[in-house]
Structure 1
Amino acid sequence: MTKAEFLEKLRIELSSGVTPQVLQENLNYYGQYIDDEIRKGRTESEVLAELGDPWILAKTIVDAQREESVEDVIYDSDGRTYRGNSSTEESSNIHVWSLDSWWKKLLLILVVVAVIVVIFAVISGIVSLIAPVLIPLLVIILLVRMLRRRW
């Protein structure tokens, strides 16, 4: 088995059990470890034999990730990590809402249109309530001013 084959098998085994970030960190770590050991004078086959079967290594990594139950780790769609302590009685779940799909964009547009319609309805309702009083009042004020100028 070569380094590339080892890392590919490790990637396949880890992909279903850990987050993409943890997957990449482990692939980088073991790729660097193999390179460092080869630079020290060991052969690739010796290093890979020492590491063992990628399936067993992946199972160990996945099990270690699951044992990190002291903290809840939440990953959003952008790959950012948020941590909250699950040992407290009130666990805080953080969710980041992003416009990464068409239906979320459509929902935002509909909400904006609904807010504009509500604002327009409120303003027109206020005007319709005030208009019967305001228009005659304005007509009276204009008539009084016109009559004052003539006298």
Structure 2
Amino acid sequence: PMTKQQFIQELSECLLNEVDSQEYHSSIEYYSNYIETEIRKGKSEEEVTMELGSPRLIAKTIIDSQLGKENQKERVSYYERRDEDADQREAQKDIFHIFWNQRELKWYEKLGVLLVLIFVIGIILTILGVAISLLVHVILPIVAILIVVRFLYQLFRK
């Protein structure tokens, strides 16, 4: 059994930095008011918090709900963007920015993006290295031989 304060504290810790400020305050206020209302009806704090269940599970539901809303905003933004005429498209953000600006990326998401970028840049540099190596070791000697052969051919032709 938990007290109201313990319940709100755990819910607060679980929601902090996981949902936007408005959702955070709204959720904390809602559950605080709900518990107060039930206590006024004659229930104990422990009864109310037991009926509500785990604050962690409630927080997970709230977080998942907000992520669902964000994903819906991304889809709506994408389709609104496609429906606008060409002049408006140039004035507004492109689809890429609408997608990435919906929420702050977590540290591990940023790290993942950075690692993918480093990997892609590494592949590009490797391909360029192979191309330059091929140029220096194969194509340039062939071109040099062709120039010498042509020079000798023209020299002995006369």
What is the TM-score with the length of structure 1 in the denominator?
0.50
Higher RCO, 1 or 2 (CA under 8 Å, sep at least 6)?
2
TM-score normalised over the length of structure 2: 0.48
The structure richer in strand per residue is 1
Greater share of helix residues, 1 or 2? Answer: 2
Q: State the structure with more CA Rg.
A: 1
